[in-house]
Amino acid sequence: MSEWEKVFEQNVAVPPPPQRRRARRPGATAFRCVLKLLEGAALAQGAEYQLRLSLFDATYHHFFGRTWRSSWRAARAVPPHPARAAFNEVVYFHTSLNHPSITAVVEVVMMAGKGDGGSQHLSCGFGLIPLFSSSSEVTHLATEDRALKLYHGTPRALLHPRFQDPTEKNKYLTVMEKSHLQYSLKPHQPLETIFHLLPENFLISGLQAIPGLQPARGDTGDCLQKPRLMKPVTYYLERLSIRLYPSLEEFEEELLDLVNSDRLLQANAAPDGDGMAVRERRLHVGVHNGLRFVQAPQVAVLVPEAEVTRGGCPAAPGSRASAAGQTLVLRSRIHLSEMVPHPAFVVCFQLEYVFCSSGRAGGKPPPGCEAADPRSVRWAVWSPSTGEREVVLPLRGGACRGPCQTLVYHALPSSRQGKHVESGTVQFHVSTDSEEHLVTAAEILRKDRDESEKPPTPSLRKVQQPSGKQRREPACAMSQQGGDAGAAFLLVSELSVPPRGRGRSPVPCGRSFWQEGGITHLEADLSSLDPEPRAEDQLRALPFAPLQVPIAAVGLQAGSSHTLLSRASLARLHAAGFPEILDHNQEPVEISEPVDPASFSPRLEEADPLQGNEIILQFLAFGRDTWDGAEGTWPRTIFLTFQFYRFPPVTTPRLQLVSTDVRLAAGQAAPSQILVRVNKDGTLGTGPPGWQLKYMVDPAFLRPGEQRWFVRYLAEHSLQIDVWDGDSLLLVGSAAVRLEPLLRQGRAAVRTHHELEVATTEYDEPEVPVLAREALRHGALRPLGVRVAVRGRLHLCLANVGHPCEDIPGQLPSPLPSRSRVVPTPDSAGSVPAGSWLSPNAAGGGRVSRARRLVEVDGELAAVLHSRRPEARLAPPAVSGEAAAAHRRKLRRMALVRQQEDASGRTAALVSGWQEQRARRVRDLQIIDSYREHTKGESISRMLSQAITATHTVHAVLGTAEFFEFALKNPYGVQHTVTIEVDRAELSVILDPREWRHFKELTKSVTPVEEEMFHLRDDLKPQVYLRPKETVRIPFKYQTFSADPAVMVVQGPAALSTGADTATHSLGKSGAGRTTHIQVSFQVSGGKPIALLQVKVEPQPHVVDQTFRFYHPELTFLKKTIRLPPWHTLPGMPVGVPGGEPEMFVRCSDPDIICETKNMGPGEPQDIFLKVAGGPSPQIKKFFVAIYTDAWLAAPAQIWQFYLHSLQRLDVSCTAGQLARLSLLLRGTPAPRRVRAFTSHPQELEVDPDGAFLLPANGIQDLSVGVRPRRAGSRFIYLNLVDVESHQLVSSWLLCLSCRQPLISKTFEISLPAGGGRGCNKLITYTNPYPSPRLYFLCTNRPDLLQFKEDSFQVAGGEVYTIGLRFAPSQTVGEEEILIHINDHEDKNEETFCVKVLYQ
């Protein structure tokens, strides 16, 4: 970063209110403020204080300028005076806002300690220094010092609307007694000589260096008390040209299209045939010192090179350059007399295009084509300190802060050329007064005078009528008689004689002429500045969609799910024949009440002799809720999905609801139905009713110290259960139960009964046009769009049976150990390298090696040897017993046979056979010898690698960082730089000492932390320097955000289990996933390893805290904003975290999903933004989101599970109470299926055929759908096509209803008693308006409150018919609006009556 960029980025000022900028006066007043002494009874002895000075506009409640901060000074008490802090610091500034409401605000800040050893800045009070009197004159101040009274609180309170002007008389301000600030404020005229170097409202100390000023004389160091300017140097820029990519013609064509599109967008109009034309191309050139422009930038007119080559008759100013010359050139020379030899002084170039309307295509330009629209296109910065003479600079653009404070155009990728290689370049030649070839001053003045006497460039342009193809530029582009042209001539004439007098106040940048031209200046975002603006940076949008109204991350209410059952209900459950739960003594476990959460004691769990836990879940019955009477049919079969602790997800088999005559809960409208397992053939199981699941949690299969984590899981978490319709595969609802009753607290076994509310959570899409303004306003978002409805009640029995566990050798029953583990080097005592080394009870720990045959250790060699003797067989290993005796008998028989052969004269043949056998063995030995020579180097290398290899096992959990340290020793007697190479990205070296220290605090490690330990190479591989024989600890962190495939099993309609009535899961058998190995190499120069580390990763399932399900159209993006709950409500979060509310961070298990969150400030809610790409229907995408409360992402505070169901979308526009028919196209699968259509709202959606039908293979069939919505508005209805034989989901639709309210012709009112009763009967009349007889049908939006005497009637033409109504009683008090729809024979709405029923 150059010196100018440092000064430019570090000195950012907030502009004053826009109303002040428009009414700014030309003159400016300079001030010198001395802050001397802070004294008061409120000051603490020994505490450090700081003063901060800012400018404030009391009329518009706006802080502006730049806040100045003093150094920290300690308060000292000198009796009898109170504590005081001496500052004696001087602040300079100048402003032209001479209004009485402009004041200087002094804030007193104290450095206070925090509980964690850090420090924080606290605002102790503030004071107001008036700058101008009521007559807009400088406030008269005496020569002596003044005491400024201080107020309690923070100056940010001035932003409150109740603090009206005058501020000093406001009743909300409280004066700090016996406290004041001694200061002096005076005008400082010497500062006027450097107005061109120092921006307005810029508070600065005299000790700070300002580019362009010489250092102060003497020991004061205050360079602003008597400022001295540096000597300027004159620079000349000649032969300036600008090249735009890919070409000037393509660049301007694309620029005109974008400007025209922006014009139509701002006017909110459709394409009208008008176009935009380039009227003029300008170049602003000025000198900038990092704080401001030293003088107003000069303006020059650029022309295409093609016009210059044609000679003195250039084309119209707006004509595009041809292919001959693709550059913009400046035909004059730029004279810069304000340049100073300082590294922060640069020359700024800004390319500006002026546009105007070109009229309609094929027509003449409109008369008002003179209206100019200037737009900044590119800018560049050049520092003369480089010493170059021929300069080529890259042009910049886009959303990066520039010196001119204007919005700059950024070219988009061209459709013809792909991406632009560059944004463009500016090229020129530089010369100064000191060069030998420079002309004399007289020649310069004469040349300047000649150039000033010449007519300006636009005057040479003649009016040309468009010929050939229609051009974008206007024919009457510029004329000497035009008013705007005259203004342009004035600007060009000023270029030759720029203002050089330093006594005059130059035109400030904010009041330069291009602001008057209508261009909108950039309001810089002071919170996020690009440190290195580049030409390739495009304007980036915010990571959150502002119109995404967040939904609340509401969990199911598990605490209120427990219902006390009467003894009669318990007796009925016992009589149903559910399996008995027995303890470890085979005695029945009685039902008990849950333990009070306040009486939970972790010590009782740790001291329990029965450390083994057998968790039993019994699903008994499922009952319908009273509310659900009007919302669809009750399922015939159900199945459940859930996940307990780290065990794999569970999907139960289908369970049929068998009706009984008992009511399990008092006041329940419908009796609960017993759950009975359904076999594969559809028959009911013969076993006991219900479904039981057992989890064996034995410390023998848990990780060291995990027993305490499991107890904490039971105490703080809930189990979420999803209930599905077994036939339609639609979600019935979800329930949650707290697991705290499973804590035994020293008892042998516990058993509790729960009645859970099964509820559905629907996420509605809010109306964006209604909420657009509120959603865009900061802080106005509320957790909308969540509706919870209770569907039924699930009866569940929880039990925990304790079991004694055997002692595990080598494991101590200590509390939760540290996750940190120092991995020793392989040469440490007691370590056993990998390979064939053994240590069978050797005294003193010596190693014993047993030699083995090469044939036994290498299968390839054995295959080569035995392939040469096909009749040979591999010798079996030595055996004992009968097999050995039989082998000896065969050998004796073979010896007898050979003796008989010798006796019969076959000795010669036998000798020949022995010779062949010997030759064969010689060849085998040669093969073995060759093989040994071939593999000797590889074997030695492998054994040496095993000797320096250490192994460490990591039990990886999603999102949790596993931290350990490796003890690396330099075995050589010389120093080495060791490079660390890791072959997997999940395992990394902790380079930041703060992160290293954070993990050591979490794991209670006592090893030291070394600052700046590692050095990164160019390939980002860390290196560490080791002295001879030195040992250091290398910190490693393993963390993965990818879920194990065993955990990614989709729960729900995708797969159904067909297990037995009772399933048993053990954490040791099914808890681990696939094991992976990671190799870490520690290499010195030349790539020689000095140590190897092999990390064995064993994935473990994780705990799921909350589950979300979203239904979304297929092949589209789901965009959701979920509001995070307050951090103190998360389970396991400590109370009273130092530093206030912690910031939350999120990570997603799927890298293709955008998951982001942003802290909006203290006290503001925090949201998670999700953007998920949906797949084809009926695909279900599953992913996890980990939520952290620490910046180093050590362990997630919660893990959320998300399901995205992709459905085929169908938009339906209809009227309430009227039948709308449509057709769905069904495509067959490769095999024929027997399918049936199910809907989530059968009372409002009917299908034809409504039963099971055959879907032919690869065929097409229509499904007729009729929609009759009961209420107006937007809503979703789900439609599933299910294979009735295999119970698989074939296809799924999402019907998006947009329902209108019908026209109500009559309204009636009636009052009825609430709280039961017999209801009442009423009559209304209807007249047939047609002359012929008609058949009418009746329907209502509330069939639970209104029934008709007849659902249809026929009436003659013009006759009156009496409709009989019966109103059912209501249990609640209030007003209900019931609609009566009268439809014709085609089910079209003829008339709608409204009956307002008041239940009293």
**Per-residue tokens: 1235:** 């399918």
**Per-residue tokens: 915:** 């010779």
pLDDT computed for residue 855 by the predictor: 67
Question: What Cα–Cα distance (Å) separates residue 1287 from each residue in 38, 530, 638, 1054?
Answer: 81, 57, 12, 9
How buried is 482 (Cβ within 10 angstroms: 0-12 exposed, 13-18 middle, 19+ buried)?
middle
Pick the more confident residue, 1337 or 667: 1337
pLDDT computed for residue 701 by the predictor: 76
- Residues whose CB is less than 8 angstroms from the CB of residue 1134 and which lie 6 or more positions away in sequence, other chains included: none
pLDDT computed for residue 825 by the predictor: 64
b (16+ CB within 10 A) / e for 867-903 = eeeeeeeeeeeeeeeeeeeeeeeeeeeeeeeeeeeee
Q: Which residues pair with 786 in a beta bridge?
A: 763
How many whole angstroms separate alpha carbon 779 and alpha carbon 761?
Answer: 25
Is the confidence at residue 987, as pLDDT, over 90? yes
pLDDT computed for residue 548 by the predictor: 52
- Residues whose CB is less than 8 angstroms from the CB of residue 596 and which lie 6 or more positions away in sequence, other chains included: none
Strands (E), 514-671: 551-552, 612-624, 637-642, 650-651, 655-658
Q: How many residues does the chain have?
A: 1400
How many whole angstroms separate alpha carbon 158 and alpha carbon 173?
Answer: 10
pLDDT computed for residue 843 by the predictor: 38
Q: Respond yes or no on whether the N-terminal peptide bond of residue 246 is cis (omega within 30° of 0).
A: yes
pLDDT computed for residue 1038 by the predictor: 93
In terms of DSSP H, where are the helices of 463-511? 483-496
pTM above 0.75, yes or no: no
Instruction: Say if strands 551-552 and 1117-1123 run parallel, antiparallel, or are unpaired.
Output: parallel
What is the CB neighbour count within 10 angstroms for residue 365? 20
Most confident of 111-115, 506-510, 519-523, 1143-1147: 1143-1147
Which whole number is the average pLDDT over 470-493?
Answer: 33
Element containing residue 183 per DSSP (H, E) = strand 175-187
Which whole number is the average pLDDT over 626-646?
Answer: 75
Q: Point out the least confidently predicted range of 660-664, 707-711, 833-837, 999-1003.
A: 833-837
Q: Which residues pair with 1062 in a beta bridge?
A: 692
Is the confidence at residue 1046, as pLDDT, over 70? no
Calculate what percentage of the chain has a pLDDT beyond 70: 71
Q: Respond yes or no on whether the N-terminal peptide bond of residue 215 is cis (omega within 30° of 0).
A: no
Instruction: Say if strands 1076-1083 and 73-74 run parallel, antiparallel, or are unpaired.
Output: unpaired
Which whole number is the average pLDDT over 1204-1229?
Answer: 88
Per-residue pLDDT band at 1091 (split at 50, 70, 90)? very high
Q: Respond yes or no on whether the N-terminal peptide bond of residue 804 is cis (omega within 30° of 0).
A: no
Q: Respond yes or no on whether the N-terminal peptide bond of residue 80 is cis (omega within 30° of 0).
A: yes
Per-residue pLDDT band at 67 (split at 50, 70, 90)? very high
**Per-residue tokens: 1001:** 């605090």
**Per-residue tokens: 1391:** 């008339």
Q: Which residues pair with 1289 in a beta bridge?
A: 1282
pLDDT computed for residue 168 by the predictor: 64
What is the CB neighbour count within 10 angstroms for residue 679? 12
pLDDT computed for residue 467 by the predictor: 38
How many whole angstroms separate alpha carbon 124 and alpha carbon 468?
Answer: 76
Is the confidence at residue 768, as pLDDT, over 70? no
How many whole angstroms separate alpha carbon 280 and alpha carbon 492?
Answer: 12
- Residues whose CB is less than 8 angstroms from the CB of residue 521 and which lie 6 or more positions away in sequence, other chains included: 405, 406, 407, 510, 515
Is the confidence at residue 979, as pLDDT, over 90? yes
Per-residue pLDDT band at 369 (split at 50, 70, 90)? very low
DSSP string, 570-603: HHHHHHTTPPPPB-TTS-BPPP-PPPPGGG--HH
pLDDT computed for residue 1258 by the predictor: 86
- What are 5-33's pLDDT values in tens digits? 888 888 888 888 888 776 666 678 899 99
Most confident of 385-399, 783-797, 1046-1060: 385-399
Helix (H, G, I), strand (E, B) or coil at 990: coil
Per-residue pLDDT band at 465 (split at 50, 70, 90)? very low
Is the confidence at residue 808, as pLDDT, over 60? no
Residues 106 and 35: beta-carbon distance below 8 Å: yes
Helix (H, G, I), strand (E, B) or coil at 457: helix
Which whole number is the average pLDDT over 246-260?
Answer: 87
Is the confidence at residue 1197, as pLDDT, over 50? yes
CA angle 705, 706, 707 (to 5 degrees): 90
Residues 394 and 423: beta-carbon distance below 8 Å: yes
Please list the helix, strand and coil fractions of the chain in percent, rounded to the nearest 5, in that order: 15, 35, 45
How many whole angstroms separate alpha carbon 1345 and alpha carbon 1367?
Answer: 6
Q: What single-letter amino acid sits at 659?
A: S
Pick the more confident residue, 462 or 169: 169
Average pLDDT, the chain: 76
How many whole angstroms separate alpha carbon 129 and alpha carbon 150?
Answer: 10
Question: What Cα–Cα distance (Å) separates residue 1328 from each residue in 134, 882, 1055, 1133, 1218?
Answer: 81, 108, 55, 70, 19
CA angle 623, 626, 627 (to 5 degrees): 120
CA angle 885, 886, 888 (to 5 degrees): 65
The edge-to-edge listing of strands for the beta sheet with 551-552 is 551-552, 1117-1123, 1167-1173, 1154-1157
Helix axes 907-947, 859-867, angle to 10 degrees: 170
Most confident of 67-71, 153-157, 1124-1128: 67-71
Which whole number is the average pLDDT over 470-492?
Answer: 33
pLDDT computed for residue 1369 by the predictor: 83
Which whole number is the average pLDDT over 1302-1328?
Answer: 84
The secondary structure of residue 1041, as a DSSP letter, is: -
pLDDT computed for residue 491 by the predictor: 29
pLDDT computed for residue 852 by the predictor: 65
Is the confidence at residue 551, as pLDDT, over 60? yes
Strands (E), 764-838: 786-803, 822-823
How far apart, in Å, do the first and last CA atoms of the chain sit? 78
Pick the more confident residue, 154 or 916: 154
**Per-residue tokens: 1220:** 């709308």
pLDDT computed for residue 170 by the predictor: 74
pLDDT computed for residue 1092 by the predictor: 92
Is the confidence at residue 989, as pLDDT, over 90? yes
Measure CA 137 to chain center.
53
- Longest CA pairwise span in the chain (Å): 146
Is the confidence at residue 1071, as pLDDT, over 70? no
- What are 160-219's pLDDT values in tens digits? 877 766 666 677 788 888 889 999 999 998 898 888 899 998 999 988 888 988 888 766
- What are 830-886's pLDDT values in tens digits? 333 333 333 333 334 444 556 666 666 666 666 666 654 444 444 444 445 667 778
DSSP string, 1136-1149: S-TTSSPPPEEEES
